[in-house]
Structure 1
Amino acid sequence: MAEMDLIIEQVRLTYEGLFKATDLYNLIDNWLRNTGYEKRELKTIEKVTSKGKYIEIEYMPWKKQTEYVINEIQIKMILSDVTEVEIEKEGTKIKMNKGKVHFVFDGYLTTDWEQRWEQKPMFIFIRALFDKFFYKRYVDTWKTNLIKDVNDLHDNIKSFLNLYRYK
């Protein structure tokens, strides 16, 4: 069985105010595409409440680092009390969304994701030795790459949302 190691945990981002939900989705999609991640959507919930829309989306995009290791980023996005508002900017009316946005990011390093070392008990033992002694310095590099990716995605979304803070 492939091993998933939690490397970076519970990186949070919270925002309340104006934003464009479609632009937020596009930002995430473009970031994933530009950094080589394959998008995998695990869950989508959308409800209409008295305060506005409630949208919960969970992604688990992955990127192959080697034939042995992949990065996986779990992205939980919750938009609550989302309403559509019109604002006027420089004489033109613009449709925007107003509400609360909450993100939680977790980063996983998955080894032997194709389960090549799981065919015989001897292979499992050899794999454990390789992981512990031979791949140790590579694992540190793979972990660093994953941490950089999670922090970069977090910073991109934070910057995007902060652009709307002063509109």
Structure 2
Amino acid sequence: MAEREVIVDKMRITYEGLFDVKEFYKFIDVWFREKGYDKKDVKNIEKVTPEGKYIELELEPWKKITDYAKNVIKLRIFMTDIKEVEVEQDNKKVKLNQGKVHMVFDAFLETDYENRWEMKPTFFFIKTIFDRFFYKPYTSGYQANVLNDVNQLAANVKAFLNLYRYSGISWSAPGTTFPKQ
């Protein structure tokens, strides 16, 4: 069985306000593709509640580094109270979504994901020795790479969501109030 070393454990981002759900999906998908990750959708749930839509996504994109190691990022996204609102931007009416976004990031370095070294007890012992003494400089570099990727993704998501917060949008829909910043 492949070994998963936890690099990032439950890094969280929360946001409440205006955003575009479709653009948010697209932004995350494009980011992973540009970084060379293969996307794996684990869970995709969408429910309509009296307060608005509830959307839950779980993605587990991975990037093969070598035949022995790969980066895995587990991303859980919970969107609650999602309502469609009409806003005015640059004298044009635009449909956006208003709601809450909660994201949880986990990152792993997965080694021996093809189970080549765990077939026999002797191989497992040799693998342990190699991991501890010979591969350590390589794996520490791989750990730094996946940590850097998660930090970049989190910073880019924050920047993406803040674009909607500070884009000069004025509300035109009657009966709606702008969320307090």
Do they fold alike, i.e. is TM over 0.5? yes
Once the two structures are TM-superposed, the CA of residue 90 in structure 1 deviates from its matched residue by 2.0
1:158 aligns with 2:158: yes
- Structure 1 moving runs of 4+ over 2 Å: none
Counterpart residue number, 1:40: 40
Q: Is 1:74 paired with 2:69?
A: no
Name the residue aligned to 2:50. 50
Does residue 95 in structure 1 map to residue 95 in structure 2?
yes
Residue matched to 1:137: 137
**1:123 partner letter:** F
Q: Which runs of 5+ in 2 are unaligned?
A: 170-181
Give the Å deviation of 1:10. 1.2
Q: Which residue of 2 aligns with 1:124?
A: 124
Paired residue secondary structure (2:117): helix
Say yes or no: does 1:5 pair with 2:5: yes
What is the alpha-carbon distance in structure 1 between the residues aligned to residue 88 and residue 147 of structure 2?
Answer: 40
Point out the structure with the larger helix share. 1
> What SS does the corresponding residue of 1:160 show, helix, strand or coil?
helix
2:176 is matched with none
**How many Å separate the matches in 1 of 2:97 and 2:143?**
36
Partner secondary structure for residue 117 of structure 1: coil
- Residues 85-125 of structure 1 show CA distances to partners (whole Å, capped at 9, x for unaligned) of 00011221000000000100000000001111112111111
User: Which structure is larger by alpha-carbon Rg, 1 or 2?
Assistant: 2
